[in-house]
Amino acid sequence: MIRIMPWVNRKQTQNRLYWIAAGVASVLFGILTGYALWGQTASLVNNVEHQLTTSEARVRNLERRLQFLEAKTGVENTSVSAENTARVY
């Protein structure tokens, strides 16, 4: 009998092992590359968040000091609507 398609009955254990190893290696490469690219960005986000929190605390402190000074000098802030004031929450 003549074999028309000899690759049908061929063992593919070596070829399968190659593809599994290549798949695992590519996933590891992708994870390491992603961490190298976006890991630094994530640490910058933490720094910016800390600076923003510090700035918000300073603004709140300045608002309290300004209210104390206005109360001390007798300046009333009733002419300014609530929509025109800047608040940080």
Q: Give the model confidence (pLDDT) of 24-62 as tens digits.
A: 999 999 999 888 877 777 778 888 899 999 999 999 999
Amino acid letter at 62?
A: L
pLDDT of residue 54: 95
Question: CB neighbours (10 Å) of residue 2?
Answer: 3
Residue 9 has pLDDT above 90, yes or no: no
Residue 85 in this model has a pLDDT that exceeds 70: no
In the 3-class helix/strand/coil scheme, how is 16-84 assigned residue by residue? HHHHHHHHHHHHHHHHHHHHHHHHHHHHHHHHHHHHHHHHHHHHHHHHHHHHHHHHHHCCCCCCCCHHH
Predicted TM-score (pTM) of the model is: 0.43
Q: Per-domain residue ranges for the chain?
A: 17-71
